[in-house]
Amino acid sequence: MRDHLARIYRCGVLTLSDKGSRGEREDTSGPLLQAMLQAQGFEITASGIIPDQQALIEQTLIEWVDNKRLDLIVTTGGTGVSPSDRTPEATRAVIELEIPGLGEAMRQASLQKTMQAVWSRGIAGIRKGCLIVNVPGSRKAAQENLETILPALQHGIYKLKGGDADCGQPD
């Protein structure tokens, strides 16, 4: 086993939902994403539900990266075109480097299942050594999107942390 596969990365799952933050809707995507990540060896050290407010999303992402020192943050919700959907904008405001391939891969896989995936605007990027990934808010779409990129996350974070194993070597 390559050493990057044996590493445990600290992860946070942030749900963006006005209704969920007020207790008017149960968050089903956040707990599912946490379980999926834990099953792959990630340690969940932060989770929460906040309203779809760009400034609050930015503030939370900055707090989780700069102070909690997470390696990965997965956000769920706020990636569509509703007036309050501002997760990609908040993410873009705090990252230093966008990783377009992750968003492209998620949309491409989703388009195989539904044409409505054209409306998904989730992005991924890096802030201070932490990968931030936006997935949709629906449980089904969140699961499908994370499943698409999950096989690449361990190695990508390993490289982000300065790992020097060759990318082309088999696991």
What domains sit in the chain, N to C, each tagged with a CATH number? 3-160 (3.40.980.10)
User: Quick one: pLDDT at residue 171?
Assistant: 45
Nearest in space to 122 (alpha carbons), one of 63, 55, 8, 109: 109
Amino acid at 147: E
Rounded CA-CA distance 16/53 in Å is: 8
Quick: pLDDT tens for 56-104. Answer: 999 999 999 999 999 999 999 999 999 999 999 999 999 999 999 999 9
Whole-prediction pTM: 0.94
Rounded CA-CA distance 59/30 in Å is: 19
Res. 2: pLDDT tops 70? no
Quick: pLDDT tens for 122-164. Answer: 999 999 999 999 999 999 999 999 999 999 999 999 999 999 8
User: Quick one: pLDDT at residue 6?
Assistant: 58
